[in-house]
Amino acid sequence: MEEELKCPVCGSFFREPIILPCSHNICLACARNILVQTPDAESPQSSRASGSGVSDYDYLDLDKMSLYSEADSGYGSYGGFVSAPTTPCQKSPNGVRVFPPAVPQPPPQHHLLGHPGSLPPIPRNSCLTCPQCHRSLILDERGLRGFAKNRVLEGVVDRYQQSKTAALKCQLCEKSPKEATVMCEQCDVFYCDPCRLRCHPPRGPLAKHRLVPPAQGRISRRTSPRKISTCTEHELENLSMYCVQCKMPVCYQCLEEGKHGTHEVKALGAMWKLHKGQLSQALNILSDRATEAKEFLVQLRNMVQHIQENGVEFEACLVAQCDALIDALNRRKAQLLTRVNKEHEHKLKVVRDQISHCTVKLRQTTGLMEYCLEVIKENDPSGFLQISDALIRRVHVTEGQWGKGTLTPRMTSDFDLTLDSGPLLQTIHQLDFIQMKVPSAPMLQLEECCTINNSATLSWKQPPLSTIAVDGYILELDDGNGGQFREVYVGTETICTVDGLHYNSTYMSRVKAFNASGVGQYSKTLAMQTSEIAWFTFDPTSAHPDIILSNDNLTVTCNSYDDRVVMGNSGFSRGVHYWEITVDRYDNHPDPAFGVARVDVLKDVMLGKDDKAWAMYVDNNRSWFMHNNSHTNRTDGGVSEEATVGVLLDFTRGILIFLINDEQQGPVAFEGIEGLYYPAVSLNRNVQVTWKQPPNVETPLHQPGSPQRRNTVTPTR
């Protein structure tokens, strides 16, 4: 916990700590030392506060780290930690570099916060940069008095320093103080035996004084009544409420005159208890993580022993096999032993590095827990609430650092090496360890491979009699136009359906397997032809909620008087496409719209009102083309019941044409068409239409399969 109690600037225990707006703490004198005066009241450049200011932990020796890992990982005290004296430094114990001001400051003199008369005046336009998070802020006219004093941290530091195991000395010895034997609770003085008999005889009024052992007297001396906190804005007012929005204690004058007047406030005592409960709950979770970390360290140490045992056993076996061969085998034996030792050392290094890293994190976690426990013991609500939010966040962040994968060994204790002693003497120079091999090329199961519409299903398996382990497969397709292959699926399944391909295109496909040793060879390349004719329906998943679908999603109407949009479930980006829509019902002369749209078109307005749709809207007498709410090319001729509206989307020429009853309606509606488009319709409750579908087209390679598993991926066009 000692690192939690040291100032990041001077490296010593906090003295008169103040709380910065970023929730970090700093000594009052250190804050004055690192003030920077800016001419234009601007904060220093961020490069001064960041850059190379943060360095990694200098990891201690593994044996020294073990001292912390053997400590209790649950709730505990700081009695077992002993640290060396610290001196002011330019780099704090936690690796934070401190940037002092360019002009040397006078030696720090600690004064009481809140007595401006005892402090030298703060220069105008002074800026303070937090030495931990490097956030800069400009001081107002109050200077450092505007920062709250962290009485909770100050109390924890005092208790920690007093709890050190150094013997208490007599306070009345003139030269070399002897070890104290008693303490008088009334006099509040520690005595050795000679001084007690000389200065505190057990007679007269002194006979009624109570003498206690020094350790008990130290505890009673630490106990003090709760201090009443005053507001930093209004020094004569006590803090009695808690502002929920600003997350800080406030006084009644702050509520009446200050910025907290309209904020939600709650009783100070209630919020004190609430935050203590939250911190305790977070500490319980963190304690569980620390316990798991301790068990994990034990597991890693056992793994070190297992690696050493397995290494010795493997080495002995190797020596026994090599000794059975003649001189030539002995020369080869030395080479093999070198490889085993390297593997041995590599495993040990990985595990030891993980032990060192995990030990550092556990020590930090345990220190934070002990500090939080001491903070919880505080009886000062306002002081506690000043730091509780930051502590809760730190506890949650620390708990998250022990997330998934942190407590998983990075190395196994087994040696995946097998010596084959079968080769004859003449092949001894080729003797080597048998390594795991890469997988063989998979075999495509043609009877289960097929294309339906613009989707392709591929199935494969490992070759017969293959015993090589496989971790997964990689499926690759080209772009359907003879381009380069790209990965469309990586996983453990042996069947995959790829959706969203181009119509009337030939895709080349191949698959390969991989394991820990590498990637194997590709399978044979398979050509797959997508359908020439698209088979699609209205898409209920992307339609407006007012849309009503029936007839297997081929017929659509609406329950609203306003126009609503519904799209097809297949998109087009290449080739020539034509589809027809039949008007089943047409009442009260509405204006249905037909056309194409992007996937993110607006669904609650007429098709063509935004820039994501290109449409023709039509009534019973005439029609218009519309895109981005621009109406063009009014043309005579409308629709009625049983009328057929055709849409021709030609990517080869980049045009869109509309037809009514097999007759082109107006000129070419739109040009420069490119990209991905979906068929779309907008209508209201007075219209019902049906998509006229072509026969279902299926292109099997041999016979259509019925795959039991389906992994669907949609490649980016």
Residue 373 confidence (pLDDT) above 80: yes
∠ at Cα 348 (345, 349), nearest 5°?
Answer: 85
Residue 654 confidence (pLDDT) above 90: yes
More confident residue, 167 or 476: 476
Whether 590 and 619 have beta carbons less than 8 Å apart is answered as yes
CA distance 407 to 445: 42
Burial 108-125 (b: 16+ CB within 10 A, else e): beebebeeeeebeebeee
Task: Report the candidate in 625, 643, 621, 645 with the shortest Cα–Cα distance to residue 634.
Answer: 625
More confident residue, 168 or 123: 168
pLDDT digits (tens, 9 = 90+) for 249-279: 888 888 877 777 788 888 888 888 888 888 8
Name the CA dihedral angle for 309, 315, 320, 323, rounded to a multiple of 10 degrees.
Answer: -160
pLDDT of residue 707: 33
pLDDT of residue 227: 58
CA distance 406 to 355: 11
Task: Report the candidate in 341, 344, 337 with the shortest Cα–Cα distance to residue 321.
Answer: 337
Arithmetic mean of pLDDT, 114-135: 67
What DSSP string describes 109-124? ----TT-GGGSPPPPT
Residue 414 confidence (pLDDT) above 60: yes
- We find that the CATH architecture of domain 171-221 is 2-Layer Sandwich (3.30)
What DSSP string describes 7-42? -TTT-SB-SSEEE-TTS-EEEHHHHHHT-EE-TTS-
Q: Which of 89-103, 251-265, 533-547 has the lowest mean pLDDT?
A: 89-103
- Residue ranges per domain, the chain? 171-221, 279-402, 443-529, 547-692
Residue 487 confidence (pLDDT) above 90: yes
Report the mean per-residue pLDDT for the chain: 79
**H/E element, 63:** helix 62-69
**H/E element, 316:** helix 268-323
pLDDT of residue 665: 93
Q: Which of 348-352, 398-402, 621-625 has the lowest mean pLDDT?
A: 398-402
In sequence order, the β-bridge partners of residue 674 are none
% helix, strand, coil for the chain, step of 5: 30, 25, 45
pLDDT of residue 222: 53
pLDDT of residue 100: 46
Whether 92 and 12 have beta carbons less than 8 Å apart is answered as no
What DSSP string describes 390-418? HHHHHHHHHHHHT-TTTTS-SS-SS---E
pTM of the model: 0.36
Q: Which two tokens stand for residue 349?
A: 């290094």
Q: How confident is the model at residue 46 (pLDDT cuts 50, 70, 90)?
A: very low
pLDDT of residue 50: 34
Arithmetic mean of pLDDT, 193-199: 89
Residue 555 confidence (pLDDT) above 90: yes
pLDDT digits (tens, 9 = 90+) for 200-218: 888 888 888 888 888 776 6
More confident residue, 224 or 534: 534
Q: Which two tokens stand for residue 513?
A: 């397997």
For 716, residues 6+ apart whose C-beta sits below 8 A from its C-beta are none
CA distance 611 to 602: 9
Residue 716 confidence (pLDDT) above 80: no
Backbone angles phi, psi at 637, to 5 degrees: 110, 120
Residue 486 confidence (pLDDT) above 90: yes
Residue 311 confidence (pLDDT) above 70: yes
CA distance 208 to 201: 11
Quote the percentage of the chain above a pLDDT of 90.
Answer: 28
CA distance 14 to 6: 5
pLDDT of residue 316: 84
Residue 83 confidence (pLDDT) above 60: no
More confident residue, 34 or 284: 284
Arithmetic mean of pLDDT, 488-496: 93
Residue 549 confidence (pLDDT) above 70: yes
**Phi-psi category of 544—alpha, beta or left, where left has phi over 0 and alpha has psi -120 to 50?**
beta
Arithmetic mean of pLDDT, 636-660: 92
Alpha carbon distances (Å) from 413 to 339, 350, 423: 16, 11, 28
Arithmetic mean of pLDDT, 626-653: 92
More confident residue, 336 or 691: 691
pLDDT of residue 681: 96
Q: Considering only the top CATH level, what class is 443-529?
A: mainly beta
Alpha carbon distances (Å) from 299 to 248, 316, 356, 401, 561: 44, 25, 13, 19, 70
For 171, residues 6+ apart whose C-beta sits below 8 A from its C-beta are 177, 180, 189, 190, 191
For 48, residues 6+ apart whose C-beta sits below 8 A from its C-beta are 99, 129
At residue 159, what is the residue type? R
Residue 141 burial class via C-beta count within 10 angstroms: exposed 0-12, middle 13-18, buried 19 and up: exposed
Residue 550 confidence (pLDDT) above 90: yes
Q: What is the CATH number of domain 547-692?
A: 2.60.120.920
Report the Cα 80 to chain-centroid distance in Å: 35
pLDDT of residue 409: 85
Residue 63 confidence (pLDDT) above 70: no
Do the domains at 443-529 and 547-692 have one common CATH topology?
no
Tokens 């976690």 locate to: 365
What DSSP string describes 557-575? EESSSS-EEEEBS--B-SS
Arithmetic mean of pLDDT, 705-711: 35
pLDDT of residue 496: 93
CA atoms within 13 A on the CB side of 80: 14
pLDDT of residue 54: 34
More confident residue, 78 or 443: 443
